[in-house]
Amino acid sequence: MNEPQEFVPQKIQIGISSCLLGSEVRFDGGHKNSYYCAKEIAPFFEYTSICPEMAIGMGAPRKSIRQIKDGDILLIQSADGTLDVTAELHEYSRNKVQELGYLGGYIFCAKSPTCGMERVLEYKKGTNNSTKTGVGVFAKALMDKYPYLPVEEEGRLNDMVIKENFFTRVYAYHDWRNMIASGLTKHKLIQFHSRYKYLLMAHSPKLYRELGPILANLEDLEASADSYFKGLMTALKIKATRKNHTSTLQHIQGYFKKHLNARQKEELTDAIMKYREGLLPLLVPITLINHYLKEFPTEYIENQVYLNPHPEALKLRYAY
């Protein structure tokens, strides 16, 4: 498998920019403490805190650096050009990411010339003219090394849909690696796909349909699993829509048609329709389905990751 397996299965390891946890590592000696990262979600994860600039010995406070484009060459220098850490940061990034195969996700600090995931300022050499076309040196090295690792910028986690999508991917990525670490078999791979059926349908019905044929021929199990994993993470990166959620909920509703009485059927249909119209959050029909599952157990539906893709305490299903 391309993705490394040396991770701690008991608690998901998340990489994070040190400044987001309150460490005073910024160029001005300050931090960008995120209450959400440092307090709200910290109990769910084990953090690996990294500041590339401090790691190469720049200290804090320090002279600020920026990305500078000199033709096709990307330089990391101070505005006046008297400090150049291009070689040091590239070398550190190349070496450091080799050690991070155990991570199950990464939360970056936005706009940083080292840690920005996107829209980092790139300056034209010798000017103050810039475009938001850069990617942080360390962030790029990590994303290039682990292209399917769930990554996000802290500020974007204020968007409920982006936040829910990120953590859905984090837990799916972790679930996959647990399965691989336990010993890959054809049966386990097929069962994994079975459990992820409705989550995949909510994110991308098209990619869900494309994943099925991969499981039809498992002669080269490792190659098939690798292809499946790439398709899985690609599909889950697509944000689930209200339309797809509604269709998925209606599919699940069909499993209860022989068990629910008229009042219960109407109650569930009403919850799904009000969700579709934006009058209720997704949590409402999901909660109702989970309630009916306790009353009328259906193993296939109980095993669906869609109903519980992440801990309820993270409060992520208010996004839709």
Give residue-wise pLDDT tens across range 63-80. Answer: 999 999 998 888 999 998
Closest-CA residue to 62 (of 86, 82, 36): 82
Answering whether pTM is above 0.75, one says yes
User: pLDDT, tens digit, for every residue of 72-130?
Assistant: 888 999 998 899 999 999 999 999 999 999 999 999 999 999 999 999 999 999 899 99
All domains of the chain in start order, with CATH: 12-57+87-119+134-158 (3.40.50), 160-320 (no CATH)
Query: What Cα–Cα distance (Å) separates residue 174 from each residue in 32, 41, 110, 287?
Result: 28, 16, 24, 24
CA-to-CA distance for 68 and 127, rounded, in angstroms? 9
Q: How confident is the model at residue 319 (pLDDT cuts 50, 70, 90)?
A: low
